[in-house]
């Protein structure tokens, strides 16, 4: 069965510091991968998605970036965090072979920028 991991689970970082969040998927090959952010009391905002190694689509211009160095690894980064980057970051995957594209979410990282 497929599992998705994210780490760290929680993170407190000062403004201006760098960020690296990691997501890995097990039990599937060539998944679509997604990064979402959820602000307190809000829905999910799609940040990036990837349909393959090195292929990244950005949905919202901001100071974040994403990379996919391996088939089942997705990384969210920032060189300098802003206060507005605080939120709950969720990674998700979907199968490319089923044709249905429902997405399954990781446990999330709660980021507080101080």
Partner 1 sequence: EDKVVQSPLSLVVHEGDTVTLNCSYEVTNFRSLLWYKQEKKAPTFLFMLTSSGIEKKSGRLSSILDKKELFSILNITATQTGDSAVYLCAVLIQGAQKLVFGQGTRLTINP
Whose tokens are 């097990």? That residue is 26
**Stretch of residues binding partner 1 (CB under 8 A), selected from 15-23, 37-45, 62-70, 73-81:** 37-45
Specify the stretch interacting with partner 1 by CB under 8 A; choose among 12-20, 40-48, 64-72, 73-81: 40-48
Cα gap 87→85, rounded to integer Å: 6
Nearer to partner 1, 14 or 98 (CB): 98
Going by C-alpha positions, the residue among 10, 8, 34, 43 that lies closest to residue 113 is 10
Give the pair of three-digit tokens for residue 101: 């594209």
Residue pair 91/106 in contact by the 8 Å Cβ criterion: yes
Residue 31 binding partner 1, by CB under 8 A: no
Of 8 and 107, CB closest to partner 1: 107
| Nearby residues of 98 by Cβ (< 8 Å), 6 or more positions away | none
Radius of gyration of the chain (CA): 14
Residue of 43, 54, 61, 69 that binds partner 1 (CB under 8 A): 43
Size of the site for partner 1 (CB under 8 A): 23
Contacts with partner 1 by CB under 8 A lie at 32, 34, 36, 41-46, 49, 51, 59, 90, 94, 100-108
């Amino acid at each position: 069965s497929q599992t998705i991991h994210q780490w760290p689970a929680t993170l407190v970082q000062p403004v201006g510091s760098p960020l690296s969040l990691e997501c890995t998927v097990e039990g599937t090959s060539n998944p679509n991968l997604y990064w979402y952010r959820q602000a307190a009391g809000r829905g999910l905002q799609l940040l990036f998605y990837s349909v393959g190694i090195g292929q990244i689509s950005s949905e919202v211009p901001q100071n974040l970036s994403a990379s996919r160095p391996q088939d089942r690894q997705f990384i969210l980064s920032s060189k300098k965090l802003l206060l507005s980057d605080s939120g709950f970051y969720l990674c998700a995957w979907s199968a490319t072979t089923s044709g249905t594209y429902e997405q399954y979410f990781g446990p999330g990282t709660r980021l507080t920028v101080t």
